[in-house]
Chain A
Amino acid sequence: MKFLRMKPGHGEVLLAEGDPSMQEDEERLVEEFRRQLEEGMWAAVPVTNPGSGRREAQMVKNYADIPPESERVIFFPRASGG
């Protein structure tokens, strides 16, 4: 699983990568996930809707909410009124 973050002037940046089934990797991913949310990021996982077959995103607020088969989680700044 990869953790990517949108970054001004960079495009996406790889924050962490690991196999969630390995305890050491999972601890690292959990730590990074928490850090990004504390920095004010939103996290989303691109998925395919099983009903419509359309691509969409699923917002995740906890590490445990990440769908197990996900290959990547994208962190992006939270929305604010422009």
Chain B
Amino acid sequence: MLLALLALALIALVLATPLALRRVEQWRSARALRPPRRPAGPFDELYDPGRERRAEQRARELLRSCVNEEEWGMYRDLGFIRVAGRHARREVDRQARAAYAYLVYPHKPIVAYVPQSGQLLSEYCVEFPDLTGSGGRHRLPASDDVLAKWMALTSDEDRVIRRANMHLIGRQLDPARVRRDLWRLAEWERRRGDRQQVPQSQR
């Protein structure tokens, strides 16, 4: 009985060998046709689920090191930064507070508004796509996007506004939400002002 089973196994092995060899041959020829794998570059890494989070953490630190303390606090607490506009219609206005300002959100349009009245002016849709990015990644971390907008607006406002697509308020952002953000900003500044006045009054 055992001998018969061994004989059967031997026959099965002999019959299966050509099939296995054919499979190996197919795999080899498919492998030869495949383009050679690129050597891993400095930015080509395996997928890492924590990568975006770490990238955002680094971006936040970079943003913090570039903007002033008030702007950092604004971003940390409210999720956006206000940047004053540089242009003024009259020379006398240059000396006073900015005639208009921008709210800079991560990965959302820049909103222009009038600080004195709270009137919303327009949305400027602008992106900073890194077309050299590997693995289909073109989008900067959220805080890098804010920093890029901040740098572009504070250094060359005209250039970034020229490149942006201007729309009326409401195209991408909900005007009610922006108004709520302006209210939050006013409250935040009021509380911050109170906090700064307390130590002075205690002296």
Closest to A56 in B: B154
Query: What's the A-B contact tally at a CB cutoff of 8 Å?
Result: 126
With contacts A79-B126, A79-B128, A80-B126 taken as known, whether A9 is within 8 angstroms of B133 at the C-beta atoms is yes
* B residues near A54, Cβ cutoff 8 Å: 68
**A46/B130 in contact, CB under 8 A:** no
**B129/A80 in contact, CB under 8 A:** yes
**A74/B163 in contact, CB under 8 A:** no
Assign chain A's interface to a size class. Answer: 20 to 34
**A10/B55 in contact, CB under 8 A:** yes
With contacts A6-B144, A57-B155 taken as known, whether A77 is within 8 angstroms of B130 at the C-beta atoms is yes
**A81/B125 in contact, CB under 8 A:** yes
**Which of A7, A9, A42, A46 gathers most chain B CB within 10 Å?**
A9
* B residues near A82, Cβ cutoff 8 Å: 109, 125-127, 164-165
**B55/A55 in contact, CB under 8 A:** no
The chain B residues found within 8 Å of chain A, CB to CB, are: 42-43, 51-52, 54-59, 61-62, 65-68, 71, 109, 125-133, 135, 137-141, 144, 147-148, 150-152, 154-156, 159-160, 163-165
The chain A residues found within 8 Å of chain B, CB to CB, are: 4, 6-13, 39-40, 42, 44, 46, 54-59, 74, 76-82
